[in-house]
Chains A and B, each alone.
Chain A
């Protein structure tokens, strides 16, 4: 069956535009995944959910990104126990592996794929306790305090002159924790294996303890650097389920926040990348521009980072005409300065040499690994949800899609420079044509069993979120998905053959979230 036939059979899902859902049998599950892959689609997210009314039943979900839109497959399975096994998707979509391992750790539903090592579970709770199962979670809470780093089975590389370098979980510098195991010969990296999950905070369990009308605050804190993307995705799902139409001004303000978030992160990365290439001047200049932006945002909205700007029904804050004017001026000045700095980066031979050819992720590999977002666009993948599946106001704003094909650090830098300019342009455009009217409307809690999806292109890539309402205004299940899930394994490939001292630079050019996928 072709992709089209699956799409036509599926029913509409509320929330983000162009999302459909389809209940499938075990055979259809695999066939649909194969057909989507054959048509150039990729895996967006995979998670499991235990039935609200029958704790013995569960379902595993796969959200697939296709040309037509997002297709969410739902496969019923028994919950927890020996029979709770479904066909793994790792051969079709390699990125499925870690998601399947996490789904087992949290929900007790197991894939048939060979890699059964725990992912999010280190040693803080026993192997047979699954925190998202109604009963097991209490048992998990009284588990022994974690002992030393549990013996994680890293893949060993044998051979003459091969030795291992272990880094983390605590790193030098102000970054998030994770463990990297390098197998090297001399200075050359033969293999990198990541072990993540250190900042697992039980976010999906925590969602079930919050009222559904308050979940956006937690969503914003899945990965703080992408707070607007996550809180918008949450609200998009919720508003769809509640049949709430947000005011036009609110949609435009959300886009404004999202582009400001993109600008702030790109400025930060461009400075850090210059620094990692031995050009401290770049860090000084870009961190100054970033601080300028944060102060302008603070003046306009009373918060430097927009963690509490998007709320159900619209936005928490509005922008006054003078504030809009000031913000426009600042952002346009930042765009100009960033352009001048770009020329300096381009002409600096030391920087050029370090960027070019480092950490290359070839377009074919990017397809095979199903990478997303900025990293994908630097490796020839023309994917940007703002253009491909636009929600209001992006259909009207029509952002330019930035694509490079080289796949190296230089390409990821170039994508950031171009996107920075485009986002600055969008900010100007939004502030010049903000629709009038209110920025907030009322929204009621959706009925139990309602299901919705959010899908928003954050600065790092597409943020996906699935939300299922429980009884009495509660959350039965919320699964937030950061694109770093897909891109971390790609980093393992991109460093092969590079020298160890280039790892910080290559890593920074991906700049992936730990907190997001660790949930």
Chain B
């Protein structure tokens, strides 16, 4: 226990503070404001891997590390689409996941936002459309914002979330 406390003490708070000329920090600041203004509570996100290679998942997971500290911005990942404001969808949509993705979308209460993550989510990426994949997420459900990159950095993903909230103004 003592070691744990010492470690916590020695590292201190490392969540990157606004403001500074780093794009990440500007995104953080604006997101924070926006979520407060629009929702007045935490933004709830449901992640759906609809066929990803799992590369995009690694960068989405990074959002929870103490440097991006997404929870500190008032963004939470939730386990059920019924509690979600926004779906974060990765992958070219595999045909084997198409139904599950549609159902998740239908189970998410209106108004809902969809952010497609990664080159695959945007265009189908290297996998394209085939007997096994439906290509971009927008081929299966309506998409508000698409974040390119293979995989996109956590900062880009946060930017995408911010853009989605901004575009809707009021959820």
Contact = CB atoms under 8 A, between A and B. Distances in A.
Nearest to B61: A174
B47 A146 contact: no
Interface string B75-117: 0010110000000000110111111100010000000000000
Given A145-B95, A307-B55, A291 B65 contact: yes
B94 to A, nearest CB: 5
Interface residues of B, number: 51
Nearest to A272: B61
Contact of B95 (A124, A170, A294): A124
B99 A148 contact: yes
B83 to A, nearest CB: 11
B62 interface: yes
Given A281-B4, A281-B8, A199 B58 contact: no
B58 A268 contact: yes
Interface stretch (B33-41, B130-138, B159-167): B130-138
Given A124-B95, A141-B131, A202-B127, A176 B55 contact: no
B132 A288 contact: no
Chain A interface: which size bin? 35 or more
Contacts of B62: 287, 290-291, 294
Contacts of A129: 131
B20 interface: no
Given A201-B127, A202-B133, A176 B54 contact: yes
B79 A202 contact: no
Contacts of A197: 96
Given A143-B131, A145-B95, A287-B66, A198 B100 contact: yes
Contacts of A515: 52-54
Interface stretch (A91-99, A222-230, A244-252, A364-372): A222-230
A146 B48 CA distance: 18
A290 B61 CA distance: 11
A201 B92 contact: yes
Given A177-B97, A201-B133, A340-B7, A304 B153 contact: yes
Contact of B126 (A217, A268, A344): A217
A6 B61 CA distance: 47
B148 interface: no
A514 interface: yes
A223 B61 CA distance: 16
Contacts of B141: none
Contacts of B96: 122, 124, 146, 197-200
B20 to A, nearest CB: 16
A125 interface: yes
B69 to A, nearest CB: 10
Contact of A175 (B53, B55, B57, B92): B57
A131 interface: yes
Contacts of A268: 58, 61
A172 B49 contact: no
A505 to B, nearest CB: 17
A174 B133 CA distance: 21
Contacts of B151: 224, 305, 307
A147 interface: yes
Given A149-B100, A170-B100, A198-B97, 13 more contacts: A124-B98, A145-B95, A174-B49, A198-B94, A200-B95, A202-B130, A202-B132, A287-B64, A290-B65, A307-B150, A343-B3, A514-B54, A518-B94
Closest 4 CB pairs of A and B: A224-B55, A202-B132, A172-B79, A124-B95
Interface of B: 3-4, 7-8, 11, 14, 47-62, 64-68, 77, 79-80, 91-92, 94-100, 104, 125-128, 130-133, 150-151, 153
11 contacts: A129-B131, A146-B96, A176-B54, A199-B91, A202-B127, A202-B133, A203-B127, A223-B53, A281-B4, A283-B64, A513-B54
Interface of A: 122, 124-125, 129, 131, 137, 140-141, 143, 145-149, 169-170, 172-177, 197-203, 205-206, 217-218, 221-225, 227, 268, 281, 283-285, 287-288, 290-291, 294, 304-305, 307, 340-341, 343-344, 347-348, 513-515, 518
